């Protein structure tokens, strides 16, 4: 996955015509709050530096690389003498003056001329510190209380004004300072694990993603010695910056929501970018096309919020897709799920399976239908506690791995029962379950028992659902469920209640219960004077299929009740067949 992140970073740098250094640079006015810069100006003549004045100007997004701002956090000096002003004296002393402590560092990578320049600059600031601070405070007092400021150094050489980013010395120091924390655990003349090339320097602890850690000796190969941690994950300085850029691009442009869970889509170009279709490549190169795609209204199966999967299914297998579900808690990151190497050809299979389900049920099937029963084990709970099961099922669908149908039926029936007991939305819950099972069956992820079936009056109805109902017991259960639903409707019509529901044991009936249920339904229909020709045909078909099923069904209770519940849901469809037009139901 990390090489894919690096490729995205490399592409972003290329398209944005950036340098690797630009990866470290941030926009101090990114959120629009810091619209003003207070600049401490110096005149420069060779290595001679003199304080000039303090001025104020507006921030300009075109000058970000010249500002050379890079936040370091904390109260100590930053990477550069550029900082957002919190309190004038604290920022001036803590972020600007303190930055010059860099001159006392051992091994500082500067020559004698550069050292002399920095020392002269430091002296110029120190000698005029009171006046500079006074000017800073004056500008702030003259402005609105809502205004926020960035404090930085600026230089005049001849008639040319320069920001610190215009001076090679500061650009070099920014890279060196940033590398310092990585240099502690590094090695020379080793092969980078990202680009595969032998490099002068590789780092042993690159924490682009916070879930990578060597904070315990047991995580380190080679004798639990932290200094040898480069053996775990050697990364050269260039690849480290490309990883940073790639992560930033993905977080900003390729992060989507998946029913309460965030995921990052990370494309991997298997045989180089030039072999990828231009229209596909443009999505990842141009953020505007990505935004446009997000806002389009094409067919969906993955989420309610994006259509990119529908578009990518038409790509060839020169790319694969990685899905990274990651949870952030403060500075920590935890991988919830990583689905790697999903090819567009498999996406096409997923959409094909969805199209079949849509056609049968005349609805738009998405993962939301699955999430409906894999969200909370108890609807009274505040937070979702079935995310792990939902992600595991998602993983299996995207990887094409087999699924235990009994486990899925357990969750489906949990929600169906919850709704059924309250006599609320059980029809909708059953439909979610039926669509999901059909979807999984179309993908070949669940095993369905199939037996040769003779032609019967309702055979055409079952053919619509293909293998889902291709055994006598399943057909018998579905038809018994439909007959029971017709009885419940009759009761509700005549009495405003459904007292027969208590015989259904909250949809936890076993084989014995089912065998005893048919005569109860028939008797009750007789009592209501509603056991008409259509229902008699239905009861006859139920008897036929239950007899064909024989004894010892070896069917779990959840499965028995799922097919019975399917009948409750399909009662209208079955009734339309057994009753001719205008005949009383």
What was the pLDDT predicted at 510? 94
Residue 551 has pLDDT above 60, yes or no: yes
* Cα–Cα distance measured from residue 585 to residue 4, given in angstroms and rounded to the nearest whole number: 62
* pLDDT 10s digits, 110-124: 899 999 999 999 999
* pLDDT 10s digits, 228-279: 676 777 888 889 889 988 988 888 888 888 877 888 889 888 776 666 677 7
Q: Does the model's pTM come out above 0.85?
A: no
* pLDDT 10s digits, 521-546: 999 999 999 999 999 999 999 999 99
Arithmetic mean of pLDDT, 369-383: 87
* Cα–Cα distance measured from residue 28 to residue 36, given in angstroms and rounded to the nearest whole number: 10
Two structure tokens written together for 271: 């045989």
Query: Strands 36-45, 149-157: parallel, antiparallel or unpaired by DSSP?
Result: parallel
Q: Lowest-confidence range among 46-60, 331-345, 468-482?
A: 331-345
| CA distance to 65, 209, 535, per residue, from 219 (Å) | 38, 16, 68
Please state the separation of Cα 46 from the chain's center in Å. 53
| Burial (CB count within 10 angstroms: exposed 0-12, middle 13-18, buried 19+), residue 501 | middle
Question: Cβ distance 36 to 149 under 8 Å?
Answer: yes
Confidence of residue 131 (pLDDT cuts 50, 70, 90): very high
User: Residue 354 CB: number of other CB atoms within 10 A?
Assistant: 23
* Cα–Cα distance measured from residue 186 to residue 227, given in angstroms and rounded to the nearest whole number: 7
Q: Lowest-confidence range among 201-210, 211-220, 347-356, 475-484?
A: 211-220
The conformation of residue 235, written as its DSSP 8-state character, comes to B
């Amino acid at each position: 996955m990390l090489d894919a992140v690096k490729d995205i970073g490399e592409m972003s740098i290329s398209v944005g015509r950036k340098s690797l250094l630009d990866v470290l640079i941030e926009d101090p006015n990114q959120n629009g709050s810091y619209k003003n810069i207070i600049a401490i100006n110096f005149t420069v003549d060779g290595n001679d530096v003199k304080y000039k004045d303090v001025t104020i100007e507006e921030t300009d997004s075109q000058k970000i690389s010249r500002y050379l701002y890079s936040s370091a956090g904390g109260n100590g000096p930053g990477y550069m003498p550029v900082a957002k002003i919190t309190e004038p004296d604290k920022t001036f002393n803590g972020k600007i003056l303190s930055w010059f402590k860099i001159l006392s560092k051992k091994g500082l990578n500067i020559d004698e001329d550069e050292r002399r320049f920095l020392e002269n600059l430091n002296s110029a600031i120190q000698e005029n510190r009171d006046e500079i601070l006074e000017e800073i405070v004056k500008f702030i007092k003259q402005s609105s209380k809502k205004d926020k400021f960035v404090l930085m150094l600026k230089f005049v050489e001849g008639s040319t004004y320069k920001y610190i980013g215009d001076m090679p010395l500061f650009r070099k120091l920014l890279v060196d300072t940033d590398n310092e924390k990585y240099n502690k655990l590094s090695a020379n003349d080793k092969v980078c694990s990202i680009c595969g090339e032998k490099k002068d320097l590789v780092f042993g602890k690159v924490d682009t993603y916070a879930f990578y850690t060597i904070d315990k000796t047991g995580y380190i190969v080679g004798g639990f010695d932290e200094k040898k941690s480069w053996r775990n994950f050697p990364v050269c300085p260039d690849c480290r910056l490309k990883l940073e850029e790639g992560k930033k691009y993905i977080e900003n442009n390729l992060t989507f929501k998946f029913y309460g869970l965030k995921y990052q889509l990370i494309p991997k170009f298997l045989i180089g970018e030039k072999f990828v279709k231009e229209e596909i490549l443009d999505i990842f190169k141009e953020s505007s096309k990505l935004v446009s795609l997000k806002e389009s209204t094409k067919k969906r199966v993955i989420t309610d919020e994006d259509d990119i999967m529908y578009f990518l299914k038409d790509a060839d297998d020169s790319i694969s897709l990685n899905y990274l579900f990651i949870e952030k808690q403060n500075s920590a990151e935890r991988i919830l799920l990583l689905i790697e190497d999903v090819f567009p050809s498999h996406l096409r299979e997923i959409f094909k399976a969805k199209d079949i389900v849509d056609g049968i049920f005349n609805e738009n099937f998405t993962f939301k239908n699955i999430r409906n029963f894999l969200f909370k084990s108890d609807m009274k709970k505040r937070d979702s506690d079935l995310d792990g099961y939902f992600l595991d099922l998602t993983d299996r669908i995207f990887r094409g791995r087999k699924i235990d149908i009994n486990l899925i039926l357990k969750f489906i029936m949990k929600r169906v029962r919850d709704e059924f007991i309250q006599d609320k939305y059980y029809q909708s819950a059953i439909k979610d379950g039926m669509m999901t099972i059909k979807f999984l069956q179309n993908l070949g992820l669940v095993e369905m028992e199939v037996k040769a079936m003779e032609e019967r009056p309702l055979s055409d109805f079952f053919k619509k659902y293909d293998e889902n109902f291709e055994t006598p017991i399943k057909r018998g259960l579905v038809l018994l469920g439909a007959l029971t639903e017709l009885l419940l409707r009759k009761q509700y019509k005549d009495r405003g209640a459904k007292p027969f529901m208590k015989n259904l044991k909250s949809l936890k009936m076993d084989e014995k219960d089912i065998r005893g249920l048919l005569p109860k339904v028939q008797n009750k229909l007789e009592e209501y004077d509603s056991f008409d020709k259509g229902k008699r045909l239905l009861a006859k078909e139920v008897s036929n299929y239950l007899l064909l099923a024989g004894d010892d069904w070896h069917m779990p209770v959840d499965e028995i009740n799922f097919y019975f519940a399917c009948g409750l849901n399909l009662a209208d469809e079955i009734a339309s067949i057994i009753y001719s037009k205008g005949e009383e139901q």
